[in-house]
Chain A
């Protein structure tokens, strides 16, 4: 078992090394085969582990080597396999493999084909390290590692400085979060003397130490700041929409299915700490809700197919944090899983569309793709229904669980959550209708080029759509499930790590809620249909003057401009001031001034040395007289 666990991250690492080292000496096909095999092997490995552990889970600890130790600080490079990491392993390697396969077709004509797969493999490696790590520091390796891979992949087409700017922005914003993570680690070590999960989360371990509630609140807030950066929550979310500059499979894998959910994984992993601090939980719930609302509302007016999906991701991540903040850790993880399926599906579908459109991403220029790309169309529809939350597709179950948790905790949050899911349904169907229905609005050339994507691209779509359709049943609603005799396998599976989900609604409330939400969602979809199919309205063009509210939302609430004017520019100005004035004039001026004083002093004293013998003689005599007078008097 231990060997199997060690192997999981090793496969992608090996294929990364192979592709990276051999690079040009490999044909594209071989590179693709290496890359996919690496991930596939990890997937098989994860499945093996999962199956062998399915009856009763024994957490496995694997220590590989001592990494950093100094004084009483010890952090070994070690892995922990428990239900939580096992779920994430399956998602990462499974979805990762499909996206690898998809990329073969998508990146076929790109010069950086090998490079792309190398990065993708490296990313998978770091992501696996992230979820397998048995202490915070190993998680941090993965945490920073995926950030780095994300940087490389967002700026994959490095000739365009806009991509590089987006990549840098993503990395810097992630780093802001990482600082929170780093400080949290320092505090945890300072308070508990260890960073090791198994030790730290052992029942009764923390009670041996004396600490006050504030410490825990600070620790969890710092951890949450880390999560904000990685999972694109307010105020650190602006990098994620920009990150769409990368190739679409990257958006699917990194910026939808896996990396951005690292924040949720982290909070779920440290749920013991979070549960100890109600204040932080409240903060998490509020930030989550706010982000969900913000992302969804911006998504309503976006016209770039990938940007819509990006804001949708921001919004869905917000919902997950809402669940976390309510203490419903399993609900959040459940949503991570279903979201991974349908969002990866949607992104890949959009990739297929973009591929077919020859790089066009503006939905105002699409339309009527239904007949050209039947497979993409069908799978995209499944993904759209799934994310909108219509039973019995996957999104329904996970969203329902979150909403029912919200209802039993705080009706306001429930209403807001509801609002988010309605907006989601609206913008997703808007996107869907504009892309696939109606008449084609692109250029003639593009229309000629339209085609269904090759098998390597459609196969992952089909597989993912199957999951997006049926994955929900692993987390069947409790009350209804009891009645029907369907067990909520997912909650039960994660119980050893995440604890029992606290509250269950009564059967009648649950059914009413389901009915109402579904009805509302259907109504919203019909409205969208009315607008974009029946009336065939188009979103406004770029340069049209919009009504005030819409203008603000369309421009993403001017948050980017706000950051630029109130953070970036002042800091740049400060740097320039420090360099040009303070450093050059004051600090260096003082040092040089010191030198100048000596030089000037010398120049002054030098005057006495006139060279005139008479003057010397006079000085001499006066001095002698003075000395004698001192002796005499």
Chain B
């Protein structure tokens, strides 16, 4: 019941906003997102106390072809749900003092997106997962198209087609495995069983098809070229949704649908994906170093982090999986933070080209301080949430492939190079003519950043809150694989 509520509240709020939200968009949106968060916490409680009746819904839907409406929340799904419900009010709140036309439509689309993303996190039926996966694409397409920056038509078109193209491979793989099930069912357990019985080479092909879809969404080198431009033109709330929440659908999908379905394929051929992911980490890190625009920098650094997550998932052991889940949450929080920082600067300065900025720290030291903590988390300093995830990922990856882990570790050096370089160029040094006009943060902006920073440090010092949620589910998943 709670699981269904998690999907329905955003969908309902989105309809409400479209229909009646013109005048009270902020109030409705914020209330709904907080209500959703409350339901998420209730669900968390149910997950931890093991009240399966509240969580699991399984009814026939298109029974003729074995499609059921089956949703359930376990620890892994729960964490992802928490990620999206936690970030949603924050993203809403961050956008309060920005002037967007047709705010209610924007919020409505965001809720539509949230609903379908959560749907994909809790779907336990292959077809249902695919459905939510694709639906989520539509609102973000319109968000960018309607509120985006220059050149948005071209960029969104590429984004949409590229992602859709990747998803089709996933659909093919899904149907292929479906055809192997004895009684033609899309149910997750049936798909797992069918997938595991495939010969290793076929498993590898299924893996590759799924991975293609996920790699485009994450994104992973060499499928990343849609991402920097899309992030660049997207409006801040849109890009926060996109990088903070939506990219996690792919990594979640990897854990939920690929690892248990084709374990032997992963074991035999997973190293290819690990190598690809590690290349992605280094490649994106290197490119980040020469970025001139802060927003592009965030985009590329995001690719590097997603690469690490993906490598960790494929490594498939308790540390790397726990680490990847932790890192997904951290990355979500951190990128939202970084994009908000971008928003603050861009709103005031009209540019995010780093060379033009400088000396902001002298004008607003608390902003600099909050920003710096986010930077520290991105470069994974201990006691920030970024460290916990990255450390577990590297130590987990190390057990699967020591060399890959060492190369992935290089990102902690390169990360410092590009993050600190950008922080130094924008915030430190002498104030110039442009930045002299930098006004101090408003209360609303400060509160938003403080919440983010509190999450960063809180989860960094006491990550058990998060690790505890997923622990048993990860164990179950690993036992199922072996």
Give Cα A595 to B221, complex, Å: 18
Residue pair A159, B412 in contact (C-beta under 8 Å)? no
Per-residue 0/1 for A589-616: is the Cβ within 8 Å of any B Cβ (1 yes, 0 no)? 0111001000000000000000000000
Residue pair A73, B318 in contact (C-beta under 8 Å)? yes
- Closest Cβ of chain A to B416, distance in Å, is 5
Among A68, A72, A179, A575, find the residue whose CB has the most chain B CB atoms closer than 10 A: A68
**Interface status of B143 (Cβ within 8 A of chain A):** no
Chain A interface, >50% SS class: helix
Residues on the A chain within 8 Å of B365, using CB = 115
Q: When A144-B382, A159-B428 are in contact, do A183 and B406 touch as well, CB less than 8 Å? A: yes
Residues on the B chain within 8 Å of A185, using CB = 395
Residues on the A chain within 8 Å of B319, using CB = 70-71, 73
> Within the complex, which residue of B394, B402, B463 is in contact with A182, where a contact is CB–CB below 8 Å?
B394
Residues on the A chain within 8 Å of B387, using CB = 144
> Within the complex, which residue of B321, B359, B383, B402 is in contact with A141, where a contact is CB–CB below 8 Å?
B383
Residues on the A chain within 8 Å of B317, using CB = 71
Give Cα A588 to B219, complex, Å: 13
Give Cα A141 to B387, complex, Å: 10
Give Cα A73 to B320, complex, Å: 11
Residues on the A chain within 8 Å of B396, using CB = 70
- When C-beta atoms are compared, the residue in chain A nearest to B392 turns out to be A70
Among B398, B410, B471, find the residue whose CB has the most chain A CB atoms closer than 10 A: B398
Residues of A in contact (CB 8 Å), total 52
Residues on the B chain within 8 Å of A187, using CB = 398, 402
**Interface status of B193 (Cβ within 8 A of chain A):** no
**Interface status of A445 (Cβ within 8 A of chain B):** no
Per-residue 0/1 for A360-401: is the Cβ within 8 Å of any B Cβ (1 yes, 0 no)? 000000000000000000000000000000000000000000
**Interface status of B437 (Cβ within 8 A of chain A):** no
> Within the complex, which residue of B162, B381, B382, B398 is in contact with A591, where a contact is CB–CB below 8 Å?
B162
Give Cα A190 to B317, complex, Å: 13
Residues on the A chain within 8 Å of B429, using CB = 158-161, 164
Give Cα A404 to B365, complex, Å: 53
> Within the complex, which residue of A70, A587, A592 is in contact with B318, where a contact is CB–CB below 8 Å?
A70
Q: When A70-B467, A144-B381, A172-B420 are in contact, do A587 and B398 touch as well, CB less than 8 Å? A: no
Residue pair B290, A155 in contact (C-beta under 8 Å)? no
Give Cα A66 to B394, complex, Å: 20
Binds B, one of A346-354, A409-417, A517-525, A576-584: A576-584
Residues on the A chain within 8 Å of B406, using CB = 179, 183
Residues on the A chain within 8 Å of B394, using CB = 182, 186
**Interface status of A148 (Cβ within 8 A of chain B):** yes
Give Cα A175 to B323, complex, Å: 21
Q: When A159-B428, A572-B289, A587-B225 are in contact, do A182 and B412 touch as well, CB less than 8 Å? A: yes
**Interface status of A201 (Cβ within 8 A of chain B):** no
Residue pair A175, B413 in contact (C-beta under 8 Å)? yes
Interface residues in A184-229 by Cβ distance below 8 A to B read 185-187, 189-190
Residue pair A587, B221 in contact (C-beta under 8 Å)? yes
**Interface status of B424 (Cβ within 8 A of chain A):** yes
- When C-beta atoms are compared, the residue in chain B nearest to A111 turns out to be B362
**Interface status of A486 (Cβ within 8 A of chain B):** no
- Closest Cβ of chain B to A206, distance in Å, is 19
**Interface status of B405 (Cβ within 8 A of chain A):** yes
**Interface status of B434 (Cβ within 8 A of chain A):** no
Per-residue 0/1 for A550-582: is the Cβ within 8 Å of any B Cβ (1 yes, 0 no)? 000000000000000000000110111011000
- Closest Cβ of chain B to A282, distance in Å, is 24
**Interface status of B462 (Cβ within 8 A of chain A):** yes
- When C-beta atoms are compared, the residue in chain B nearest to A189 turns out to be B395
**Interface status of A489 (Cβ within 8 A of chain B):** no
**Interface status of A65 (Cβ within 8 A of chain B):** yes
> Within the complex, which residue of A165, A190, A572 is in contact with B398, where a contact is CB–CB below 8 Å?
A190
Residue pair B222, A587 in contact (C-beta under 8 Å)? yes
Residue pair B430, A68 in contact (C-beta under 8 Å)? no
Residue pair B290, A575 in contact (C-beta under 8 Å)? yes
Residues on the B chain within 8 Å of A591, using CB = 158, 162, 225-226
Residue pair B222, A73 in contact (C-beta under 8 Å)? no
Interface residues in B396-448 by Cβ distance below 8 A to A read 396, 398-399, 402, 405-406, 409-410, 412-413, 416-417, 420-421, 424, 428-430
- Closest Cβ of chain A to B404, distance in Å, is 12
**Interface status of B242 (Cβ within 8 A of chain A):** no
Residues on the A chain within 8 Å of B162, using CB = 591
**Interface status of B161 (Cβ within 8 A of chain A):** yes
Per-residue 0/1 for B336-348: is the Cβ within 8 Å of any A Cβ (1 yes, 0 no)? 0000000000000
Q: When A148-B381, A595-B161 are in contact, do A179 and B289 touch as well, CB less than 8 Å? A: no
**Interface status of A491 (Cβ within 8 A of chain B):** no
Q: When A159-B362, A185-B395, A591-B225 are in contact, do A172 and B318 touch as well, CB less than 8 Å? A: no
- When C-beta atoms are compared, the residue in chain B nearest to A24 turns out to be B365
Give Cα A164 to B358, complex, Å: 12
Residue pair B399, A68 in contact (C-beta under 8 Å)? no
- Closest Cβ of chain A to B387, distance in Å, is 8
> Within the complex, which residue of A141, A155, A159, A572 is in contact with B430, where a contact is CB–CB below 8 Å?
A159
**Interface status of B231 (Cβ within 8 A of chain A):** no
- When C-beta atoms are compared, the residue in chain B nearest to A183 turns out to be B406
Given A179-B410, A183-B405, 16 new contacts (CB under 8 A): A67-B463, A67-B464, A68-B391, A68-B467, A70-B323, A70-B396, A70-B474, A71-B317, A72-B318, A168-B424, A187-B398, A190-B398, A190-B399, A575-B289, A590-B222, A591-B158
Residues on B lying within 8 angstroms of A by beta carbon are: 158, 161-162, 221-222, 224-226, 283, 286-287, 289-291, 317-319, 321-323, 359, 361-362, 365, 376, 381-383, 387-388, 391-392, 394-396, 398-399, 402, 405-406, 409-410, 412-413, 416-417, 420-421, 424, 428-430, 461-464, 467, 471, 474-475
Closest 10 CB pairs of A and B: A71-B318, A70-B322, A186-B398, A141-B382, A588-B225, A575-B289, A158-B428, A575-B290, A575-B286, A70-B319
Q: Can you spell out 14 A-B residue pairs with CB atoms less than 8 angstroms apart?
A: A67-B461, A68-B391, A68-B392, A68-B464, A69-B467, A71-B322, A137-B391, A159-B362, A161-B424, A165-B424, A182-B412, A572-B289, A579-B287, A583-B283
